[in-house]
Amino acid sequence: MIDKQEIAAQYQEIQDEICRGLEQLDGTGRFEEEIWQREGGGGGRTRIIQNGTVLEKGGVNFSAVFGKLPEPVKRSFKVESDDFFATGVSIVIHPNHPLVPIIHMNIRYFEMNEEVRWFGGGIDLTPHYVYEEDARYFHTHLKSVCDRFSPSFYPRFKEWADDYFFIRHRSETRGIGGIFYDRLNPVTAGVGWNEIFEFSKAVGRSFVPVYTELVNRHRNEDFSEQQKQWQYQRRSRYAEFNLVYDAGTKFGLETNGRIESILMSLPPQANWVYNFSPVPGSEEEKTLQLLKKGIDWAK
């Protein structure tokens, strides 16, 4: 098993690679970095990009924290001890263009002792408008990453993402999903620790090529004010999920994490329209019809 400090060091390298790739993709935007320390143990590097050519707001954050788990988290994890170590990279990008999708990625490692440790993570896409060819490209790319490690990974983790990124009070998925996994160890994964770590890094390194392709497909297309308003409305659904259901948000708040880093996932602007009903036959209606579980985008 690779040492936890080595995992953290390699996650930092991935953070560096992704920031360089996103700056190159945007063209003008540059990341600002804040180094922070957590009261109780550890810290991280928060990197934020704002008001770029196409990236309106985004964060690529690294953290490595340790200390004592709060009682609610201990009960949730069903553990007796309370010493923990957690490290990971978390990304959310909100574009300024309504035809370019929101994207989220997270890779992480959690450890309490030799018996209680696991990897988690995933990557998912939230288009303001669902383009079926983009959805197929995204999921086919993720399947190819998963298949390098186990043929069971993509179908398992795709279903997990469909279930996890579901806004229950809206009865709709947050976007077109992707892959999501948690508590991955040799027993639950069917492969060894080294392979799980390599898979985690492969997921991280899939981010730049897949998002670069999707951004460049749409960044130069014209859009209307109506489409811009729809973007703000779809952002509100993203915010609802992150504030109500997201496990990472809850964990960060319950372990005394850095508030600015935890809530960097929220968009710069979102609108809530009362009792909205899309025009029949419109692109907005089509998108809502595709925000559901179980669509086989990689077929």
3-state secondary structure (DSSP) of residue 51: coil
104 is catalytic: yes
User: pLDDT band at 80, cuts 50/70/90?
Assistant: low
Q: For 4-289, which CATH superfamily applies?
A: Coproporphyrinogen III oxidase, aerobic (3.40.1500.10)
What pTM value is reported for the model?
A: 0.94
User: pLDDT band at 250, cuts 50/70/90?
Assistant: confident
Rounded to whole angstroms, how far apart are CA atoms 36 and 34?
A: 6
Q: Which amino acid is at 204?
A: G
Q: Say if residue 254's pLDDT is above 90.
A: no
Residue 268's pLDDT is 93
- 74-78, 198-202, 278-282: which has the minimum mean pLDDT? 74-78
Q: Is the dihedral of CA 291, 212, 10, 62 positive or negative?
A: negative
10 Å CB burial of residue 274 (0-12, 13-18, 19+) is: exposed
Rounded to whole angstroms, how far apart are CA atoms 110 and 9?
A: 14
Q: What is the mean pLDDT of residues 218-245?
A: 96
pLDDT in tens, 148-179: 999 999 999 999 999 999 999 999 999 999 99
Residue 24's pLDDT is 98
User: pLDDT band at 299, cuts 50/70/90?
Assistant: confident
pLDDT in tens, 97-152: 999 999 999 999 999 888 889 999 999 999 999 999 999 999 999 999 999 999 99
Q: Say if residue 1's pLDDT is above 70.
A: no
Q: Say if residue 253's pLDDT is above 90.
A: no
CA angle 197, 143, 9 (to 5 degrees): 25
pLDDT in tens, 224-233: 999 999 999 9
Which candidate in 94, 104, 139, 218 is catalytic? 104
